[in-house]
């Protein structure tokens, strides 16, 4: 139950140091909007008090609480610093429960980085461990992390099964917060399977459960997720309504990341409706927040979106500047999928300008990016197969190897198809370029007779030289001045 600040201060004043640490950690772990907003503050206070305590066990609990708060607020730099300082002590002096908790915290961090194999490595020692049987929230956290690993590596059916198992646990019967997260993850899995109606159903169920928690942050996320599900079903008017509701919720709790994401979603809808002024208004608000938070991926994506509007409005110079900046940042963070989308926008820009040479160059770069994406995808698929190999029992080894070989064959076939497609496009563009003949450079011309010296040293009449070196044709006649002179 939430505790007022006045009552909290009174409790802390009347308590021993150990009791204060316990109260602060409990407060940091509370599932209320106010507690979530200040969870890092409470966890850091508990951590500071614990450093002077002789008991390593108290210190370890406080460190784990602060690590968890850092992850919840996506403060990964601080997370890494604290982990580096304390991990060895926890592994050496922590009891089984504390070490298992650290493993789950690290797995959650790695999942935020899409490092699924490493996340599984963290959890493996604690799955079916004879010496440690997790219970309550420890078990549920482990199951949620495993389901997220399954979603990450494409084992969506297994993820859904694991999430349904969570709903069967006694702890889930009355925990609306847990039910909300579980429904949301089931919906995510269905979205990955492109079963958008099922995804919509579970996002709606998550939204209803979130309302019961009274937890504003969870409610806002659930409303935004439901809007995204409607967007995927191309129900744009309904999606906009939910995005506007989510935006108000995020503003109430001052969640800048949520506000930025929702503004971008609203802008996308107005852009699709060709309501460019309103789309630009939403994108520019989101851009201001992205710049303040130094979110390079979002900055690059917003620059691309704004540039696409400028292309449609024939504001081509501004579009070119924004796309150059977008591509620079996408390369900086190695966002291959984003680079792919930016190259397509650049090609559209140069086609509209009529600069087909630059369009052709960027088409080649787009093809290279596709090839790199295929190779990257191949490596990810191989990693996913490795994870599946570790998850599946040993008797399924042969099946996994067959899947791996089939995947590689499909990838090789796809690469060959793309290479053939690339060659055909290059051939077509080369044929088109052979028809574009443009004179350039310095032409040696006689100051008297106006003949031009060609590359072999011969002097040719002006019209003969230009006809030979371009697609221009001449018709002969007399200008008014020459006509007058000729007649006289």
Does residue 479 form part of some domain? Answer: yes
Residues whose CB is less than 8 angstroms from the CB of residue 289 and which lie 6 or more positions away in sequence, other chains included = 256, 259, 260, 263
Does residue 475 form part of some domain? Answer: yes
For the chain, give the percent of residues with pLDDT over 90: 28
Q: Which two tokens stand for residue 42?
A: 């409470």
For residue range 253-265, list pLDDT tens digits in order: 888 888 999 999 9
Does residue 418 form part of some domain? Answer: no
| Statement: residue 186 has pLDDT above 90 | yes
- How much is the average pLDDT of 265-282? 95
Does residue 169 form part of some domain? Answer: no
Does residue 435 form part of some domain? Answer: no
Residue 369: per-residue pLDDT: 64
Mean pLDDT (the chain, rounded): 83
Does residue 339 form part of some domain? Answer: no
In terms of pLDDT, which residue wins out, 70 or 382? Answer: 70
The total of structural domains in the chain comes to 1
Q: Which two tokens stand for residue 365?
A: 């770069």
> Number of C-alpha atoms within 13 angstroms, CB side, residue 35?
19
Q: Which phi-psi region, left, alpha or beta, contains residue 486 (left: φ > 0; alpha: ψ -120 to 50)?
A: alpha
Does residue 482 form part of some domain? Answer: yes
**Measured distance CA(146)–CA(391) in Å, rounded:** 10
Q: In angstroms, what is the C-alpha Rg of the chain?
A: 31
Write out the residue range of the structural domain in which residue 472 sits.
452-487
> Which of 46-60, 85-99, 213-227, 273-287 has the largest mean confidence?
273-287
Q: Which phi-psi region, left, alpha or beta, contains residue 129 (left: φ > 0; alpha: ψ -120 to 50)?
A: beta
- How much is the average pLDDT of 429-433? 69
3-state secondary structure the chain: CCCCHHHHHHHHHCCCHHHHHHHHHHHHCCCCHHHHHCHHHHHHHHHHHHCCCCCHHHHHHHHHHHHHHHHHCCCHHHHHHHHHHHHHHHHHHCCHHHHHHHHHHHHHHHHHCCCHHHHHHHHHHHCCCCCCCCCHHHHHHHHHHHHHHHHHCCCHHHHHHHHHHHHHCHHHCCCHHHHHHHHHHHHHHHHHCCCHHHHHHHHHHHHHHHHHHCCHHHHHHHHHHHHHHHHHCCCHHHHHHHHHHHHHHHHHCCCHHHHHHHHHHHHHHHHHCCCHHHHHHHHHHHHHHHHHHCCHHHHHHHHHHHHHHHHHCCCHHHHHHHHHHHHHHHHHCCCHHHHHHHHHHHHHHHHHHCCHHHHHHHHHHHHHHHHHHHHHHHHHHHHHHHHHHHHCCHHHHHHHHHHHHHHHHHHHHHHHHHHHHHHHHHHHHHHHHHCCCCCCCCCCECCCCCCEECCCCCEECHHHHHHHHCCCCCCCCCCHHHHHHHHC
For the chain, give the percent of residues with pLDDT over 70: 86
Residue 268: per-residue pLDDT: 95
Mutual orientation of helices 136-152 and 116-123 as an angle, nearest 10°? 150
Residue 433's pLDDT band (cuts 50, 70, 90)? low
> Number of C-alpha atoms within 13 angstroms, CB side, residue 113?
15
**Measured distance CA(470)–CA(459) in Å, rounded:** 17
Residue 185: per-residue pLDDT: 92
Whether residue 102 contacts residue 64, with contact meaning beta carbons closer than 8 Å, is answered with yes
Identify which of 293, 307, 389 has the alpha carbon closest to the alpha carbon of residue 349: 307
Does residue 476 form part of some domain? Answer: yes
């Amino acid at each position: 139950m939430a505790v007022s600040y006045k009552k909290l201060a009174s409790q802390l004043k009347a308590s021993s140091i150990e009791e204060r640490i316990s109260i602060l950690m409990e407060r940091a772990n509370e599932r209320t909007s106010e507690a979530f907003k200040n969870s890092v503050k409470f966890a850091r206070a508990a951590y500071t008090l614990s450093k002077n305590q002789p008991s390593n066990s108290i210190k370890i609990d406080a460190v784990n609480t602060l690590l968890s708060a850092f992850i919840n607020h996506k403060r990964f730099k601080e997370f890494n610093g604290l982990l580096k300082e304390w991990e060895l002590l926890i592994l050496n002096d922590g009891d089984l429960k504390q070490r298992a908790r650290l493993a789950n915290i690290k797995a959650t961090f790695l999942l935020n980085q899409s490092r699924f194999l490493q996340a599984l490595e963290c959890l493996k020692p604690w799955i079916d461990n004879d010496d440690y049987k997790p219970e309550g929230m420890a078990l549920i956290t482990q199951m949620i992390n495993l389901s997220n690993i399954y979603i990450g590596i494409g084992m969506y059916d297994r993820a859904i099964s694991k999430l349904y198992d969570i709903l069967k646990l006694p702890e889930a019967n009355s925990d609306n917060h847990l039910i909300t997260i579980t429904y949301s993850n089931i919906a995510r899995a269905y979205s990955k399977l492109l079963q958008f109606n099922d995804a919509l159903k579970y996002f709606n169920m998550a939204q209803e459960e979130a309302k019961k928690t009274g937890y504003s942050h969870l409610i806002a996320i659930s409303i935004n997720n439901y809007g995204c599900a409607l967007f995927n079903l191309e129900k744009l008017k309904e999606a906009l309504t939910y995005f506007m509701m989510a935006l108000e919720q995020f503003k109430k709790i001052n969640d800048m990341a949520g506000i930025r994401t929702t503004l971008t979603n609203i802008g996308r809808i107005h852009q699709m409706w060709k309501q460019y002024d309103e789309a630009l208004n939403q994108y520019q608000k989101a851009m201001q927040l992205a710049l303040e938070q130094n979110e390079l991926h979002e900055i690059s994506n917003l620059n691309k979106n704004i540039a696409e509007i400028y292309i449609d409005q024939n504001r081509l110079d501004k579009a070119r500047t924004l796309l150059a900046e977008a591509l620079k940042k996408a390369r900086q963070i190695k966002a291959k999928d984003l680079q792919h989308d930016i190259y397509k926008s650049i090609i559209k820009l140069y086609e509209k300008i009529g600069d087909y040479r630059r369009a052709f160059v960027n088409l080649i770069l787009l093809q290279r990016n596709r090839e790199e994406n295929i190779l990257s995808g191949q490596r990810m698929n191989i990693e996913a197969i490795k994870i599946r190999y570790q998850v599946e029992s040993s008797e399924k080894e042969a099946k996994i190897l067959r899947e791996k070989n089939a995947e590689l064959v499909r990838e090789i076939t796809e690469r060959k198809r793309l290479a053939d497609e690339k060659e055909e496009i290059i051939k077509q563009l080369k044929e088109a370029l052979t028809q574009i003949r443009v004179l350039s450079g310095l032409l040696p011309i006689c100051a008297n007779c106006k003949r031009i010296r060609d590359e072999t040293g011969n002097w040719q009449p002006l019209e003969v030289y230009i006809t030979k070196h371009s697609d221009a044709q001449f018709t002969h006649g007399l200008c008014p001045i020459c006509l007058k002179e000729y007649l006289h």
